[in-house]
Structure formats: C-alpha cells, structure tokens
Amino acid sequence: MTSICFYFQVHQPFRLKPYHFTEIGEQHFYEDYQKNKDILDKVATKCYLPTNQKMLELIRQHKGKFRISYSISGVALEQFEQFRPDVLASFKELADTGCVEFLSETHFHSLSYLFSKDEFHRQIMKHYWTVRRLLGVTPSVFRNTELIFNNELAKTVAEMGFKGMVAEGVDRILEGRTPNHVYNTPGNSEFGLLLKNYKLSDDIAFRFSNPAWEEHPLTVTKYASWLHSHAGEAEIINLFMDYETFGEHQWEDSGIFEFLQHLPEAIMSHPDFQFRTPSEILTAYPARDSYDAPYFTSWADTERDLSAWMENKMQQHAMHRVYGLEKEIKLINDPDLLNVWSRLQTSDHFYYMSTKYWSDGDVHKYFSPYESPYDAHIYYMNVLSDLEKTIQKSLPPCRISKRKAIKAKIRAKEIPVKMKSRNKLRISSGLTV
C-alpha cells in the first residue's frame, strides 16, 4: 500500500508597523494591529473557513479514510484567539474527528535553533502546551520553521521525545534516491523522517493556476494518475504545502476547491492507495535508508538553504542583534517584555529583508507588507533600538552599572582589542550548532 500524507502549514506573523526613528524612546507598541487583523480576516474568509469546512466534509464523506495533518504556528493560534475565534473553533472541530494530526513547532515560528538551544526548547514547549490547550491534542511529530533541518537538529528533537519530524526532500542529499520512503538520521535509527516530495507538492501549491505551465490545466484525473504511477515503488508520498494554497495563493476561481473536492476519491480509486497522518506512517513503515544532512536545508526558494533569511548583511545584523538580547530579557523576567522579544524572532521579519531577485525575489515581494527590504530592515532595527532602551530601564541596578563600566572602558580604549575579539566570537558562535 502507498500512503498519501497531506500536511499543511498554517502561519500568520504579527507584522510590524512602519516604526520611525523619531518614535524610539517615545512609543513602545510595534505591531500593526489593523493590518494584522485585516489580513487575517481576508485569509480567514478566502482560505481558512471554506477550506476547513471542505476538509470536514471530505472526512465525513469518506468515513474517516481521508486523513490530513497541520502545523499551526503559535503566533497564528494567538491571532485566532484574539481576532477570529471562529477559525480556531473550525480547527478544533477538525481535531475532534480523530482524522487530523497536529504537529509541534517553535511557537513563534522562529530560527531560534540557529542561535539558542535554550530558546528553541522553550518555544517548542510553549507551542506544545498551546496546542493541547486550544485543540485538545498532543503533538508527537515535529516540524521546524520553514522545514529547516540538519542532523544535529534532528538529534535535539529526538532527545525531546518526538517520534519523528518532517523535512524537505533535497535532491543534493537524496543523490538520486526517492523521497517516497521513511528515512532515519545518522546515529538515530529510531527517529523517523518524512521528506516532502517537492515536485508533486509544488504542482498544486505553485503551478496549479499558471497558464504558462505545460501541464495547465491540472485536472484531478491527471494528478491522480501521476500519484498512481508510483504504485509498487513508493511506500509514502508526502504532499506538504502552505494551507493558504487553497483560496489565497490559488484563488477560488482557479478551480482549486473543486480540485480538492474530487481529489481524495480519485486517489483512493486505486486499491493500493490510502491516506495516513505522519505519526501513523512512522508507526506503519520502517525506515529504508539514512538521510544525512550535515548542513542546513529548508523548503524555501530554489537553493533550499537558509539564504531566504540569512543571505545579506541586513538580515544577519538584525538576527544577531535580536538574539543578543536573550540573556538580559530573561534576567528581567517580565512576561510581557519576553513576549515582545519572542515575536520579534518570527522568521518573516528577516524574510522581508531579502534582496533576492528573479523568481525567488518575486515570491518574497508577494509576502512582504513593505515597499522594499530596506524599509523592512529600518523599521525592524528602530523597533530593536526602542526595545533595548526599555530593557536598560528594566535591568537590575547592578547589571546596568556593569554595562556602563564596560562601555566606559571601551570608550577610554582601555580594552579595545579584548572586547573586539569577544564580540567577534559571540557573533560567529551564533551559528555554531
């Protein structure tokens, strides 16, 4: 039997407002409340509510044989609670069917693993308990932000007790092997890995409504035949995509909902095909080979690496600066301040700063609320400057005195070489894993 794993990422960031230099020290609310609400309302109307209803109908129509999975970021769940409890209720209704699995991830959809294992762990546990509280389910499979993955990350996740995780099936690591089997990671034969079949996934997520695509229009019969062609060879086919594919990226008038309506029946018309969730697949199938990823990969852009968030100096500077605040933020022990800092870690902030061009650049522009990546960087750094001022006012007096003394020594050039080397070490170690 070949199992189809349908997995959807649900995420909405808290976008920052245009925060100007003159506001530093004067105005401490950073997020664009109205824009966040308006975008969520739009996506809820076009995607979340109609697609959730469609998924619920399909589960009932096929008497539980149609099974799907989601990873909903913590910041998206927070916005559902704040702005759209009806959307949250619709996901809870799906959870109650017993046919839908919800995965774990970093609560703030962050790149925290690259900079702080402690923060990475904290965010996973926060998301874990949020999912349990709001949806009544317990995640057992992990999905890292943007499918960012490597061997050491998998080891960390395994040590936290997860049975497996999902990742991108990257050609340069697969080296001609198929993504259509369960894999494990080097030195950890018990930890399962589900790899995205990016070609079959992107046929729906990116190419479905593209009239220039040679396979346009994509019909249910055609797509099901592509899946069925793997019968006898594929144990699993992992179709991973943004949930906003339905109704938002691919508009309703493209025929995407009609395509979804008939897809499960067409797939299951073949006697050897069924739907399973990630944890069901990891229980049913053994790992066939090891997926050795010594360097980081992701599902973003043609490179499938970290360049979408860390390619240019603006992105690198912003990330090192925000993660450099961790010790002082946690020393202050103010939940509100911690939450503000945590939301600033959301990967979208750095994605908006990307200066990539050509096809990847067009995708970056589509998602950005700013006129340019330079605007995104300026507003973000202004926000960080104000947050740093707030932190200084909140630190214990002894800590403030220590910082002032160090700064005074630097100005007096008493320890310039020593401090420069320390700073260099701290910045470079931010990416050591």
The whole-angstrom separation of Cα 208 and Cα 64 is: 27
The whole-angstrom separation of Cα 48 and Cα 202 is: 20
Residue 210 exposed, middle or buried by CB count within 10 Å (0-12, 13-18, 19+): middle
Burial 285-304 (b: 16+ CB within 10 A, else e): bebeeebebeebbbbbbeeb
Catalytic site residue from 23, 101, 105, 146: 146
Q: Report residue 322 as tokens.
A: 């925000």
H or E element: which one contains 419?
helix 416-429
- One DSSP character per residue, 70-105 reads EEE-HHHHHHHHHH-HHHHHHHHHHHTTTSEEE-B-
Residue 343 half-sphere exposure, CB side, CA atoms within 13 Å? 22
Active site residue 371: no
Listed in sequence order, the residues at least 6 apart from 166 whose beta carbon sits closer than 8 Å to its beta carbon are 7, 103, 141, 142, 143, 147, 193, 194, 195, 196, 238, 240, 278
Q: Report residue 338 as tokens.
A: 């911690």
The distance in angstroms from the start CA to the end CA of the chain is 39
Residue 64 exposed, middle or buried by CB count within 10 Å (0-12, 13-18, 19+): exposed
Q: Report residue 410 as tokens.
A: 């630097």
The whole-angstrom separation of Cα 131 and Cα 93 is: 14
User: What order of strands is seen across the sheet that includes strand 289-290?
Assistant: 141-143, 164-168, 188-196, 183-185, 289-290
Q: Report residue 333 as tokens.
A: 């022990």
Strand partners, 168: 196
The whole-angstrom separation of Cα 167 and Cα 299 is: 8
Q: Report residue 319 as tokens.
A: 């990330």
Strand partners, 6: 68, 239
Radius of gyration of the chain (CA): 23
Listed in sequence order, the residues at least 6 apart from 39 whose beta carbon sits closer than 8 Å to its beta carbon are 12, 15
Catalytic residues: 146
